[in-house]
Structure 1
Amino acid sequence: MKEKLKEAIDLFEEVMIYGTERVMKSMDLPLWQEYSPEQIQVLKILSAHGKATSAQLADFQGVHKSAISNRIKKLEEKGLISLESDEHDRRSKVISLTEQGKQVVQISDEAIYQSIEKLFLGKVDEKELDEFLFIFQKLKDILKLKGM
């Protein structure tokens, strides 16, 4: 079991690394010239979770709060996110997507879907896709962070 789990983790990491690189390089999307992958990821996190603090975003991205502060500043300047005082802690700011931010996420998601669809077409059948969905739903349920 231990060896198979290690192999699964290694494969997952490789898929994430090569998949991200391949998808990003295969698309000539002006949006991805304007925003870094890390900024897009912040937008996607906010899209999935609604609101978050900078500390929560730093935890999700596995970086120091100073890196998040810079991303937040740039995204706010571009009108993609808004900051408001936390009702429970006035010293803290809660970050959420603006309508423009939601549009950026939608454009990015559609481009990623189209790129991956082209990669998978004719290489993955319906049964394999069902297995993939089952396993990834199970992994999501196991790894899902609470409290956000």
Structure 2
Amino acid sequence: MPPIREMLAETGITEQQWRVLRVLAEYGSQDTSTLADRACLLFPSLTRIAQTMNKKGLISVCRDETDRRRQIISITGTGQKIIDDNTEQAALIVEGFKETLGKKNYEQLLDLLAMLDPNRDN
């Protein structure tokens, strides 16, 4: 989306990387499967994105202590700073969406998008 791309232009991260950071900032450290679902990414895409983000120092990746096959991803201070530095602008973008759609349509959009979540409560 253009407003988000404009916001992220100076950060050097993509929209997908932004989503990963937002999910980690909101929910904390989590396994890769959960993170992929919450960030609306296919698992193979998340794997590739996480490698790039780890190299940039935005996230850290470690093995789960109880199940060594699972990887746990956490946001780093550098990643959190990107979130913190852009929170106000992101809120303004959301407000712009609400203005464009109207409150009722915006809420309906969120409800419709939630229906696509395979993990949602029915």
With over 3 angstroms needed to count, the CA separation of the structure-2 counterparts of 1:61 and 1:25, relative to structure 1, is closer
Task: Show the counterpart of 1:108.
Answer: 86
Relative to the length of structure 1, the TM-score reads 0.60
Whose helix fraction is larger, Structure 1's or Structure 2's? 1
Q: Distance in 2 between matches of 1:116 and 1:62?
A: 18
Aligned length: 116
Q: Is the contact made by 2:23 and 2:39 (CA closer than 8 Å) also made in structure 1?
A: no
How high is the sequence identity, in percent, across the aligned residues? 24
With over 3 angstroms needed to count, the CA separation of the structure-2 counterparts of 1:49 and 1:116, relative to structure 1, is closer
Post-superposition offset of 1:23:
2.4
Task: Show the counterpart of 1:49.
Answer: 27
Q: Distance in 2 between matches of 1:28 and 1:90?
A: 34
Give runs of aligned pairs for residues 133-144 of structure 1, distance below 5 A: none
**1:99 maps to which of 61, 64, 77:** 77
Q: Is the contact made by 1:27 and 1:115 (CA closer than 8 Å) also made in structure 2?
A: no
State the structure with more CA Rg.
Answer: 1
Runs (5+) with no aligned partner, structure 1: 1-20
Give runs of aligned pairs for residues 28-43 of structure 1, distance below 5 A: 29-31=9-11, 34-43=12-21
Matched, 1:60 2:38: yes
Post-superposition offset of 1:87:
1.7
Runs (5+) with no aligned partner, structure 2: 112-116
Task: Show the counterpart of 2:56.
Answer: 78
CA RMSD of aligned residues (A): 3.3
With over 3 angstroms needed to count, the CA separation of the structure-2 counterparts of 1:38 and 1:90, relative to structure 1, is same
Post-superposition offset of 1:39:
0.6
Task: Show the counterpart of 1:24.
Answer: 4
Residues 69-125 of structure 1: CA deviation (Å, up to 9, x unaligned):
1110011000011112212101211110111111111123222123445x38xx69x
Q: Is the contact made by 1:80 and 1:101 (CA closer than 8 Å) also made in structure 2?
A: yes
Q: Distance in 1 between matches of 2:39 and 2:6?
A: 24
Q: Distance in 2 between matches of 1:37 and 1:109?
A: 14
